[in-house]
Structures are given as structure tokens and as C-alpha cells.
Amino acid sequence: MIDNVKILETKILSDNWYVLRKITYEYIKKDGTKTIQSREAYDRGNGATILLYNKNSRTVILTRQFRLPTFVNGNETGMLIEACAGLLEKDNPEDCIRRETEEETGYKITDVRKVFEAYMSPGSVTEILYFFIAEYATEMKVTEGGGLEEEDENIEVLELTIDQAMRMVELGEIKDAKTIMLLQYVKLNNIL
């Protein structure tokens, strides 16, 4: 830990799905004064996400699935279009994203490239997300995808042109931050 932060108390508020903790800590400000603050931090583990792209057809692979938090926050259908992603669990980020890509999209990818990592909601969630891109081709499709039945996943696989996807961002049809970041990455870096 850094010298200006001292954890005083940690209480587990919930460990039903993941772990929600209330942490009380002492913080020394720039002027040297001490303050005691309490914050809640939700620990759901770290994750990885990937954007599959095809240079020849200028297409990307995205997914669509029901996301309860978006539904309770005003998304009428609860359906969200997003890049393939998953929790690391005990894998390293690259192994995780290879596994998730095949489970969710049906593509068995070979070369993945890590492009960056980011905290997605650092005010309340501990998760760091590892971002990847990879080329795909029709011959890499080994299953229909759709996720794992035992995990109750019901994922629709979408193939869109990069122009369609970017237009969907503009129209508010794609609202997932990780997906927008990856789409912008491939556009800004002239990958598609």
C-alpha cells in the first residue's frame, strides 16, 4: 500500500454472487491532514474482452445477450450488443479470451493481440479488464457459439461491417463501454 492510505476496517456486505465490501480507511491529504472515509467496493474478479475483425470484409463479430443491470436501469429489452468477454477465473487473460471467444462466438482464434487494459468503473468495482483484438476468418468457425448451456448463457452472434457498428454507436444502439472502446481502437489505428 502507499504511505498515505491505511485500511482501518473491512466488512463483507454480501458474498452471494461476488463480494461486496465496505472499507473504512484513513487517507492523508496533500496538506497533511488526515480524513477517515468509507467506501463500498464490488469485487467480481478481473476479465478480458476481444474484438474479432476481418480485414477483407471489413467486418467485426459482436454478441447480443440479456443483461439484467441494464434492464433495471431503463434498457427496455435488457438486450445489449457487446464484444465477447469473460471473467478470468483462474486463467491468464489470453487463455481466458481464447476460451470465451470459442464458447461465445464459435470461432477458434489463433493469434490474439493485447491492446490495453483499463479499470471500467474504478469508483466502485475492483475489476481490471484486458482488451484484445484478433483477426477471424470463416474457416475458424468451429461451432455455432452462443455460450455454455450449463452457465445459462443465451448469446446471439452478430457479424457487422465496421461502418454498421460505428453507426450503431452513434445511434445509441451499442452502449457497452468495452465494445465502444475496441471499435474506436480499430478505427483510430486504421486496422479496419
In sequence order, which residues have a C-beta less than 8 Å from that of residue 65 and are 6 or more positions away?
79, 80, 82, 147, 153, 154, 155, 156
Question: What is the enclosing helix (H) or strand (E) of 154?
Answer: none
How far apart CA 62 and CA 47 sit, in angstroms, is: 17
Q: What is the DSSP string of 24-75?
A: EEEEE-TTS-EEEEEEEEEE---EEEEEEEETTTTEEEEEEEE-HHHHHTT-
118 is in an annotated binding site: no
85 is in an annotated binding site: yes
Q: Give, in order, the Cα–Cα distances in Å from 151 to each of 61, 98, 166, 167.
A: 21, 17, 30, 32
103 is in an annotated binding site: no
82 is in an annotated binding site: no
Task: Show binding-site residues.
Answer: 85, 100, 104, 153
Task: Show binding-site residues for Mg(2+).
Answer: 85, 100, 104, 153
